[in-house]
Structure 1
Amino acid sequence: MESFNVPSRDEVSANNQTIFDNLKSQVGFVPNLYATFTYSENALGDYLTLAGRKSSLTNKEKEVVNLVVSEVNNCNYCKAAHTAIGKMNGFTEEEILEIRTGEASFDAKLDALTKYVKSAVINRSKPEQSTIDAFFAAGYSKENLVDTILLIGEKTISNYLYGSAKFPIDFPEAKELESAAV
């Protein structure tokens, strides 16, 4: 499949140019994922609103969700982006690779989150009851569960956009997993 051209600032609407300018000042650049959302007039603003919402999850927990969803959906763009963001949030390369397999043996609470997310995504919204029970037993609340589900949805949106548009990856590529057992 041919990849989508990534729209430049000059090729997007005035509203999206403002968003581009804000992203450039906050992040330093406009990631290709975000630029590709501008094929729709409102999609980038809507996606950033969803992505920027308040959450009961910590930044590390959010990256666990992002990494697991992106691995299960085999989104090379999001695996690359969230490997970089995961490192900025304190995970080591080894921890990130383990999270992507669906485990986090280095932290019992994150392990329960990782296993729940993997089961929810693989089983298309119907996680194994044992992963829900372990999620709550690890200390997560119903609010955390709802916020986790919202984040799974948000990450699935970006995974689907990359899967269909195949725009260039503008982050260092993520290492491949040794095992294909995801």
Structure 2
Amino acid sequence: MRSSASALYNRLFRAIRYFRDLIGSISMILFKEYKIKTKSCQKSDLQQVIKIYREQLGNGAEKAIQRDQALFNKVFYIFKDDKDIVLGYCAYYIHIDLKRGKFIKVATMDSIAVDDVCKRQGIGSVLLKESINELKENNVWRIRLFVYVNNLSALNLYKKHGFKVVGMKDGICSRGSCYEMELSLNNLLEDAQ
């Protein structure tokens, strides 16, 4: 009985996630791109992105990365060198939330990683800066992310770009407890409510 209820819950959760992803993807039809140093991830870039993901975060999310690229490639940022090699990436998905009777766009960072050889060269900051600017220009209300509590370099990077810790979550980060962090992109909208 317990396993069938769990299986039903998992199917329901996946169906709701698929529906939310679909609506979020549709909301991006008029998305304008302002990329300067980054590019949108194309299907041909996925092998390099997955390699970086595996090196930094382990196995297991290949299908999620492929889904993000297919549905949200405009907010799947990559940084390449002059030889067309992917050195880092930052992937988001967009959902629509209801806040005080208004529909708002919320971006959630699915993952960000930089190749080991290129760490401490500012690539993570470039990815964050350009993605934050582009999301703001496209009326995304806020960005949220989850980060492992002991990942101090990532925490410092996110704080440097204005993210604030808003809570603690278990069961999201594969390594244990993680912080939920947010960055409000539309202070005027937030202040008016």
Q: Identify whether the pair has TM-score above 0.5, normalized to the shorter chain.
A: no
Q: Please, what TM-score do these two structures have when normalized by structure 1? A: 0.29
Higher helix share: 1
Q: Which structure's relative contact order is higher, taking Cα pairs within 8 Å and 6+ residues apart?
A: 1
Q: Please, what TM-score do these two structures have when normalized by structure 2? A: 0.28
Higher strand share: 2
